Structure 1
Amino acid sequence: MADELSLIGYRIGAASIGLGVFSTTIDLLHACKRGYDAWRGLEGLDRDLSILRAKLVLQQDLLEQWQRDWYGFAVTDSVSVTKLRLLKEHNGTVELALGSVHNLIDGMVSLREFAHSGRAPSGIERAKWIASELDTSRKSLNEITSLLEGLYRLLPPRSPNLEAAQAIISLNDHGEGSDAIETVLRSTSRQAIISGTLNLRRAERSLQQELQRRVTEMNNGPPTVELVITPARCQVGEEDKISAGFRRFGKLDGRPAIIEWKKYDRRWQGIKRTELDGRIKNLAHLLHNESKPEELRVLQCDGYFDNPADSRYGFVFTLPQPSEGYPISLREVIGDKSFDHLPTLEERYQIAYSLGLSIAILHTAGWLHKSIRSHNVLFLKQSKRPVWCRPYLVGFDYSRPDGRDESSEKPEQSKRFDIYRHPLSQGTPNERYRKEFDYYSFGAILVEIAGWRPIWDVWADGTPVETFKAQLLATAEQKVPHRMGRDYAEATLKCLNGELARRDCSEQKAFFIEVVEVLGRLIS
């Protein structure tokens, strides 16, 4: 009852400010969006116009990010009422800045119409007109950038990692404009998350081109690249029992390491074996890439080796230092009722956000994980406690590039692993694996983090997969809000119910905006 009275009080406080005072601001934001969208949809542009459009797209993405932070929140507590008061205090300045931005975008309409239709003054005057319009538009861009930067200093974005947002949102859903956006990002940003994500994308494309060459040439010999590890360097030790045989602890050149197994069928020959070998090589290179962003929470892959006697490859990951012993999995700590080093609420938010951001970066690089579950989330230990703020996503044995022509291996059937998988990705026949299935698995982990209890504990033998999905959804709707708050619960529901795939923008962009960003704000 007290909570309800508090909420009523907050709403009364918001009403007293007068929400209608922001109507002009909202109208200006919509007007700016229409102007940007008109550029966003253009295709077949030459280099100069492509770069111009890319810069406008990046401006729009950051402005929309800022709008979500400052004009897309619910009035639920005293903090949100304080935000409303701050907005009212600066409303005149915001309107003036947005009005100027809108006018500058409108001033570029002649060049935009030329880009759309190709119509312009003929003869010698045509070239002069185009050069003049380009020069004027570039000056307008600089003025818009200056205005928006001032706006962001006045009311800073609330995203915990604005650079990650720029890299992930801007590199998706832009079709042929993606190359120009990469060019602009590389030339204008010095942020490690942006350069690391771009490097990862570039490495993935290069690796796929190399794999296609090998398939074309039918080169069936074993990989001979520098990441192949000789048996003498690697000691394979005890099994990580929580992994059901997929992971062992060991050493590489005397350093603590983890070995993850990737099984294969020794009967595979020809193109199928070439593709498998190439995918193993590419995945090792991707996880070895030293320029990958730190926000991608994966262990450093030092190489791989073939274990033909057991028909499996071993990926070898060395552990960051300092670290006490071998890491512990999320599944292990939430399943151990005697475990006394529990994370705080803020640390659980951090775990969720870090994992969500890692999935978003992995998808931006062009890969699907396919085995997201709490068994594959590891924590290093220091002072006998898990380092909660730095989870590591492992278990890449079935990962593959996200492409239409990529073959998809079906993970081994296991009831305790299947409960993390989307119903459509289970059984025979099953649908081609897609991003939505990774998001569903992440949603299952979010339920576990909320209750600090493995979902295996609530699964009953013989429960149909759709019935269990309904149980997860019911838990996310009824119990998770009490434990983690409404925002966390809604992010969880969106992962589980598949609604992200029904957005007008790309599913990947929707996941970042509606899930990762939301989780990030909980820790800020």
Structure 2
Amino acid sequence: MADPLSVAAGAAGLISLSLQLFGSCIKGFVLLSTARNLEKDASIIVCMLNFEEIRLTEWARRAGILTDDGTLDRRLNATAVEAALRQLRDLLLDTKTLKKRYGLALVERNSTQQQTVGLLEEADSISETPTVSTGISGDIRRRILSKAGLAQEPGVLKRLWWAAVDKEKISRLVADVHSLVSALWDHLDPWRHDDLLDTTRNIGSYLVSLNNKFDQISSLAEALKALQGALQGAQQSPTDIGLNNSVALAGVKALRVGLGEGEQQQSAETPKRQTLLNKLEPLTRLKLTNFKPLKREATMGLAEYDGNVVFVEKKSLDPMTRSKILPRAQNLAALLNLPKDETFHSLTCKGIVEEGGMVSFVFNHPNPDSAGEPRSLLELFSAKDGIPPPSLTVRVQLALRVSCIVQNFHRTGWLHKNLRSENILFFPSKDEADSHEKLLTHPVLAGFAFARAGAPTEISERPSADPKRDIYRHPAALGEPAESFSADMDTYSLGTVLLEIAEWRSLRYLVDSVVDVGAADVPLNRLAEVQPFLLRGDGKGGTSKLRVKMGDIYTQACRGCLGAEIKEEDPREGNAFGASPSVLDLAVRHLERCRI
């Protein structure tokens, strides 16, 4: 990891105002700390100032000022931060104010008594002063001042002496310095909470991914639940949210491992499979009646089961692979039956019904009182049947919710393989009949017909060829794939949906300059040109207007999913566990940082 106090960036380019002001504050601390002729009581006061210097330096590190480029974290209000630093600088360096307000007189030592020395030499000499102790070394001060462009300033700072010290008044100086430093920390607190949320999620996710035996992961889930329970009763914090996510993830993985789907599958786990499957409601095809397919998707629709309205997804069973696909369908049903975190919003599966060459996933309707037909995201884009383009805020929130659903599905160890706006559903309730924006807060992931566990050895079913749907697929997943389907291919499909949400328009119209999906015959090589067209971001349609409409952060998230390089928006000190986040994880973090 690069030294956070590296001076390379400061020497190579322009120095930010925040860094200059911070460096001036450190200069002020050096001035006061290295002044001579201290009595014992005054020496204690200076030690207190040294603690404030330590706090300010740690704040600067967390605020991004001591990163390689020396720029303030863009989430912070630069105007407020610079105003506080300017006040602190003036407080420490204005000798007239020091004398008038705090009774602190500093005078130059006669040059005949001692040769003058530079500011940086004073920074070194403090550690040699027996009456003063500090956690900021002269070397750190030197590098900070050099980074701030203050190392070679014209003129030589004379060695100063304390000519007069009023203990009570100088205590006020310490209190005023403390107040300004605390104000800077208070401004950082909300973003520190965000960092805590990221850290909590990372720790929980890492611990869950580290354990691959049913007993281990079940014990971890119980431990996380206990910690969650201990925090209940207090106002919800980022830590609580992160724990909720980790508890849900641990429970889902415990189920997946128990079903025998882990890559490090243990033979001893398979007896638990039947116990877990028994949690599904035993269904009979005689009670499943009155199936009514959706307008644009014949394999999904509403039906009745035992007199109650349910949502059904149908899947064909190939006789040649039935023995392998049917257990997979059972496992998926058990997975979707499990209670899930609010960020993993999918319908609750009651169970499956097999009839002829089909298997039907039967889901509880989320709004049984209204039991209305769901609308797909693709339908909502339609000028005729859709809704007016929602606000930028609503679109960003929708993109984040959909991304989190896919992220959590991947964390269970499964791949969707059929991500597109047609499979993002919304179930209107009576209260949402006149509120389009409220409807968009509850997206549901559907279309699991081709979903499978993520292990490369898993048998993979090829979706039927349809250009209108193939434009959502990664080029390597078209035709007869040359490589096994991967999570990044799902992430690519998510990127196309994020683009649609940004433009509030179907993908087919955004790529029509490359491929006409309504043509009688669309060759695969034309479909394969969609990804490079989207990544180029030029011409008409595609991502050409994405940055203007949605801003830099959203654009990075969307393009990252589509295959462009994606980096941390605000780099931290790195992952303590050494685990690299996936492209989807980085995209979610970017979307979480969007501020409208």
* Short-chain TM bin: 0.5 to 0.7
CA–CA separation in structure 2 for the residues paired with 1:515 and 1:73: 25
8 Å CA contact retained: 1:215, 1:275: no
Amino acid at match of 1:171: S
8 Å CA contact retained: 1:236, 1:259: no
Query: By how many angstroms is 1:16 displaced?
Result: 3.0
8 Å CA contact retained: 2:535, 2:564: no
Q: 2:190 aligns with which of 140, 153, 156?
A: 156
Residues 1:255 and 2:308 aligned together: yes
| Partner residue, 1:472 | 534
| Partner residue, 2:363 | 317
Query: By how many angstroms is 1:430 displaced?
Result: 2.9
Structure showing greater relative contact order (alpha-carbon pairs closer than 8 Å, 6 or more residues apart): 1
Residues 1:519 and 2:591 aligned together: yes
273-282 or 198-207: which moved more? 273-282
8 Å CA contact retained: 1:14, 1:81: no
| Partner residue, 1:285 | 334
Map 1:4-15 to 2 at 5 A: 15=16
| Partner residue, 1:297 | 345
CA–CA separation in structure 2 for the residues paired with 1:23 and 1:497: 44
Query: By how many angstroms is 1:90 displaced?
Result: 12
Unaligned runs of 5+ in 2: 1-13, 27-58, 90-133, 136-184, 230-242, 569-573
Residues 1:171 and 2:205 aligned together: yes
8 Å CA contact retained: 1:329, 1:377: yes
Return the TM-score normalized by structure 1. Answer: 0.65
Query: By how many angstroms is 1:435 displaced?
Result: 0.7
**Sequence identity percentage:** 24
Query: By how many angstroms is 1:383 displaced?
Result: 1.9
Query: By how many angstroms is 1:316 displaced?
Result: 1.1
CA–CA separation in structure 2 for the residues paired with 1:24 and 1:197: 46
Residues 1:234 and 2:288 aligned together: yes
Return the TM-score normalized by structure 2. Answer: 0.58
Amino acid at match of 1:317: F
Map 1:365-514 to 2 at 5 A: 365-381=412-428, 382-386=432-436, 387-457=439-509, 458=512, 459-461=515-517, 462=522, 464-475=526-537, 477-497=543-563, 499=565, 508-512=581-585, 514=586
8 Å CA contact retained: 1:440, 1:496: yes
For residues 136-182 of structure 1, the C-alpha deviation after alignment (integer angstroms, 9 at most, x for no partner) is xxxxxxxxxxxxxxx79962237779657633565249975786994
Assess, with a 3 A threshold, how the Cα gap between structure 1 residues 418 and 78 changes in structure 2: closer, same or farther. Answer: closer
CA–CA separation in structure 2 for the residues paired with 1:251 and 1:86: 65
Q: Aligned pairs, how many? A: 406
CA–CA separation in structure 1 for the residues paired with 2:448 and 2:87: 49
400-409 or 344-353: which moved more? 400-409
| Partner residue, 2:405 | 358
Amino acid at match of 2:561: C
Query: By how many angstroms is 1:345 displaced?
Result: 1.2
Map 1:95-106 to 2 at 5 A: none
8 Å CA contact retained: 1:168, 1:509: no
Q: Secondary structure at the residue paired with 1:331?
A: helix
Amino acid at match of 1:428: E
CA–CA separation in structure 1 for the residues paired with 2:315 and 2:465: 15
Q: Secondary structure at the residue paired with 1:315?
A: strand
Assess, with a 3 A threshold, how the Cα gap between structure 1 residues 172 and 79 changes in structure 2: closer, same or farther. Answer: closer
CA–CA separation in structure 1 for the residues paired with 2:463 and 2:567: 23
Assess, with a 3 A threshold, how the Cα gap between structure 1 residues 249 and 296 changes in structure 2: closer, same or farther. Answer: same
Map 1:214-225 to 2 at 5 A: none
Q: Secondary structure at the residue paired with 1:238?
A: strand
Amino acid at match of 1:433: F
Instruction: Flag the structure with larger Rg.
Output: 2
Q: Secondary structure at the residue paired with 2:493?
A: helix
Assess, with a 3 A threshold, how the Cα gap between structure 1 residues 337 and 516 changes in structure 2: closer, same or farther. Answer: same
For residues 241-284 of structure 1, the C-alpha deviation after alignment (integer angstroms, 9 at most, x for no partner) is 322x221222233333221111121233xxxx433222111100
8 Å CA contact retained: 1:262, 1:313: yes
Map 1:259-274 to 2 at 5 A: 259-268=312-321, 273-274=322-323
RMSD of Structure 2 on Structure 1 (CA):
4.5
For residues 279-298 of structure 1, the C-alpha deviation after alignment (integer angstroms, 9 at most, x for no partner) is 111100110002x2121011
Assess, with a 3 A threshold, how the Cα gap between structure 1 residues 486 and 276 changes in structure 2: closer, same or farther. Answer: same
8 Å CA contact retained: 1:164, 1:194: no
8 Å CA contact retained: 2:258, 2:269: no
Unaligned runs of 5+ in 1: 1-12, 26-62, 93-98, 101-150
8 Å CA contact retained: 1:297, 1:391: yes
8 Å CA contact retained: 1:233, 1:253: yes
Assess, with a 3 A threshold, how the Cα gap between structure 1 residues 434 and 24 changes in structure 2: closer, same or farther. Answer: farther
CA–CA separation in structure 2 for the residues paired with 1:384 and 1:89: 51
Return the structure number with greater helix share. Answer: 1
Q: 1:345 aligns with which of 392, 403, 408?
A: 392
Amino acid at match of 1:288: N
| Partner residue, 1:81 | 78
| Partner residue, 1:35 | none
Assess, with a 3 A threshold, how the Cα gap between structure 1 residues 88 and 307 changes in structure 2: closer, same or farther. Answer: farther
Q: Secondary structure at the residue paired with 1:313?
A: strand
